Amino acid sequence: MEDLTRYYTLLKDPARRKIIEILGTQEKIGFKELRETLGLGVGTVYYHLDMLSDFISQDKQRKYKLNDRGKTLYRLLSEGNIPATAEIGEAFSHRIAKWLFLSPLFARTSKPLKLLPVAMAVLLVGAFGTAYAELEPALFFYSTLYSYTFATTVALFLLCWLGFFLFAEIFTSLLYRRVGNDLQLFTCLGLAAFPVAVFPYIYLFRADIVSQIILFALQIWCLLLVSAALCFGKGIRLDKAVVVSLTGIYLNTVIMFILGRFA
C-alpha cells in the first residue's frame, strides 16, 4: 500500500508516466531521444528523471532503462492497477503547494524565451522600485543605509541576482554535476525574484515594523520560489534545490553582517 501511494504521487505528472511507458516499451533510450520524444526542456527532463531515480538506471552508454522496481511500476501501470492521471485525486495541500511554488508557471520555462521578457520585467521592476524607495539591495535583503545614486542602485539590484545566478550555476555543477540549461535557470530565477521585487513599493507606503514583517514573509516565499526555480532550471529534486537556496541565503546573511548592514 505504501508503494502504491508513492506510485500515485509520482505518476500524477503525465511526463513521468510517459517516461515509464517509454522505458517499458523501448527498454533503453538516450537522453536526447527521450527529451525529443517528451518535447520538454533539458532541465525539466532532468527533474523528472531525478524524481524517478529509484526506478531507473543507466547502462555503460549512459542510456536510461528501468530497474527491477521500475519494471514493477511499469507492470502495474500496464495492468491498469494505477488509474489514469486525470483520475488521480489531488489533495488540497498539494494544490496549495503547487501554487505556492508557482510550479505551473515554472513548467512553462521549458521554452525559456517565452517567459524571459517577464523575468527581465520582474528584475527591472524590483531594481527601479528599490532606487525610488532609496533602499540598498542585497539579494534577499534590503538596507536603509542608502548611499548610492539612482542608477547605481538599479545596477546593484540587477548585479545581485546575476551574481546569484552564477553562484547557482557553479554550485549545482560542482555538487550535483548539472551543467548547461543556463537560459531556463536565469528565466526561473528572474521569476523567483518577484516577492522581493515588490517589497520596495510596499516600503514606500509603509516604512515601519509592519513592512519588516511583510519583508520576512516575502523572503520566505522568495526562498521557496528560488528552490523551485532550481528544480526546473537545473533538473534537481526539491531537497537538493533547498540546499543550494539555503547556502545562498546563508552567504547573503554573512556578507550583510560583514558589511555592517544589519546594524
Q: What is the CA radius of gyration of the chain?
A: 21
Q: Which position has the higher pLDDT, 35 or 224?
A: 224
* Domains (range + CATH), the chain: 2-89 (1.10.10.10), 97-258 (no CATH)
Average pLDDT over residues 146-154: 91
Q: Which of 49-53, 88-92, 180-184 shows the lowest mean pLDDT across its residues?
A: 88-92
Instruction: Name the pLDDT band for 37 (thresholds 50, 70, 90).
Output: confident
Q: Is the pLDDT of residue 75 over 70?
A: yes
Instruction: Name the pLDDT band for 59 (thresholds 50, 70, 90).
Output: confident
Q: What is the pLDDT of residues 10-28, one digit of tens each?
A: 777 788 888 988 888 887 8
Instruction: Name the pLDDT band for 4 (thresholds 50, 70, 90).
Output: low
Instruction: Name the pLDDT band for 207 (thresholds 50, 70, 90).
Output: confident
Q: Is the pLDDT of residue 87 over 50?
A: no
Q: Which position has the higher pLDDT, 62 or 246?
A: 246
| One-letter identity of residue 229 | A
Burial class (CB in 10 A: 0-12, 13-18, 19+), 167: middle
Q: Is the pLDDT of residue 89 over 70?
A: no
> Which pLDDT does position 193 carry in this prediction?
97
CB 27 within 8 A of CB 219: no
CB 252 within 8 A of CB 140: yes
Buried-state track 95-105, b at ≥16 Cβ within 10 A, e below 16: eeeeeebbeeb
Q: How far apart are CA 154 and CA 187, in angstroms?
A: 19
Is the Cα torsion angle 113, 115, 116, 118 positive or negative in sign? positive
* DSSP character at residue 86: G
Closest C-alpha among 260, 235, 222 to residue 45:
235
- Please, which residues bridge with residue 136 across strands? 143
Q: In Å, how far are 6, 138, 200, 207, 218 from 214, measured between CA atoms?
A: 36, 17, 11, 11, 6
pTM for this predicted structure? 0.78
Q: How far apart are CA 156 and CA 159, in angstroms?
A: 5
Q: Is the pLDDT of residue 218 over 80?
A: yes
Q: Is 33 helix (H, G, I), strand (E, B) or coil?
A: helix
* DSSP character at residue 217: H
Instruction: Name the pLDDT band for 5 (thresholds 50, 70, 90).
Output: low
Percent of the chain with pLDDT over 70: 89
> Which pLDDT does position 263 carry in this prediction?
52
Average pLDDT over residues 146-155: 92
